[in-house]
Amino acid sequence: MFQDFSVQSRPELGPPRLAALREAMSAAGLDGFIIPRADAHQGEYVAPCDARLGWLTGFTGSAGFCIALPEIAGVFVDGRYRVQVRAEVSLGHFTPVNWPEVKPADWLKDHAHAGAKIGFDPWLHTKSEIAKIREGLEGTGIALIESENLVDRVWNDRPAPPAEPARIHPPEFAGETAAEKRARLAEALRDDDIAAAVLTLPDSICWLLNIRGSDIPRNPVVQSFAVLFDDGAVKLFADDAKFDADLRAHLGDEVSILPPDSLTAALEAIEGPVLVDPDSAPLAVSLLLADHDTKIHEAPDPCILPKARKNAAEVAGMEAAHLRDATAMVEFLSWLDTEAPKGKLTEIDVVTALEGFRRDTNALIDISFETICGAGGNGAIVHYRVNEDTNRPVKPGELLLVDSGGQYVDGTTDIT
């Protein structure tokens, strides 16, 4: 099974962890600290080593953040998670905040004192995100301060970064070689007199280099950073243990693999202008370049639009994946029509059976997200994930919500 049903949230662990964070804040001379759900790649899904929000608060949703102050800790969640957050955090220590209706700057104005210093890790926030909060705080005396990550300082048993093997995305599914993509994007850089582009989104990097990975569950990406130069060369910052000889041959001599911790030195050595996406790149990237007087050209990630323009091979792969997945869904629905009226199924039974039908295609790489299967009242919980404690019987006469998908080599599906 790809999906497991263990209980992931431990609300009782939140209070002592929050106390440790507050001690670290005090030692660092800070009056608050922002803890995002996102990692340095701004992904919706994060590796266990980057699940700081969940570790601190117990909240396991895919979006949100916490602002911890000495007397209050707000957990900001959108409308999908307002039921879930109350079940997963210690409400005596964490206060759910309705976001985006309540903006972080407005909340800070209400709860932080004038002159408060609020720390944040610049590797976990984009330039645009921090600029918006700072704009909202103008005139208050409340300042956002770049800081080392204080959660990491108190997270003594933090897991190691993912190191799953990468793989080649076959050309018959990509429809274009990586060399052709690099050349095409490099030409666009030259046309705009840009020397290099910093790539921080793993899906962009994987698209550009025709590679895939399994560092993040449900997401076929390789956690990495990259720099694309105007001659088509690429420096890829990733754990080299992920790349075998065949994959290195696929990447070719124009793609060099460098240790992740060498990214800072590489950024400092680049001669600009350098393209940086202020909406997706960590603020730390812009700060490093600015510290060395490197000219920055702010623009969208150059892979975003080309990646969205699907070629004939990609369209064919999407169609094949959806036809294959549809067959599995029809078989599942037929099974459900037979078994559900007997009144013996639970939500876990349904999830397990559906994954089995997808596995029977002999093409399933992973599920595309945790299957949402809610019977009766559980169907009203947005993004509900069944576990051993919440597993509910599927009763005849009640609604059953099933939202699921599959990851295949040729496409990704999502059906409700």
Residue 395: predicted pLDDT? 95
How high is the pLDDT of residue 345?
A: 97
Tens-of-pLDDT digits for all 416 residues of the chain?
899 999 888 999 999 999 999 999 999 999 999 999 999 999 888 999 999 999 999 999 989 999 999 999 999 999 999 989 999 999 999 999 999 999 999 999 999 999 999 999 999 999 999 999 999 999 999 999 999 999 999 999 999 999 999 999 999 999 999 999 999 999 999 999 999 999 999 999 999 999 999 999 899 999 999 999 999 999 999 999 999 999 999 999 999 999 999 999 999 999 989 999 999 999 999 999 999 999 999 999 999 999 999 999 999 999 999 999 999 999 999 999 999 999 999 999 999 999 999 999 999 999 999 999 999 999 988 889 999 999 999 999 999 999 999 999 999 999 99
Q: What does the pLDDT read at residue 355?
A: 98
Fold for the domain defined by 312-412: Creatine Amidinohydrolase (3.90.230)
Query: 11-154: which CATH number, 3.30.750.24, 3.40.350.10, 2.60.40.10, 3.30.360.10?
Result: 3.40.350.10
pTM of the model: 0.94
What tokens were used for 229?
């130069």
Identical fold between 11-154 and 167-308: yes
Residue 381 confidence (pLDDT): 87
- The pair of structure tokens assigned to 259 is 């240790």
User: Strands 32-36 and 117-120, how do they pair?
Assistant: parallel
Amino acid 151: pLDDT: 98
Residue 412 dihedral angles phi and psi, to the nearest 5°: -125, 140
The domain 167-308: what is its CATH number?
3.40.350.10
Domain boundaries, the chain: 11-154, 167-308, 312-412
pLDDT given for residue 7 in this prediction: 87
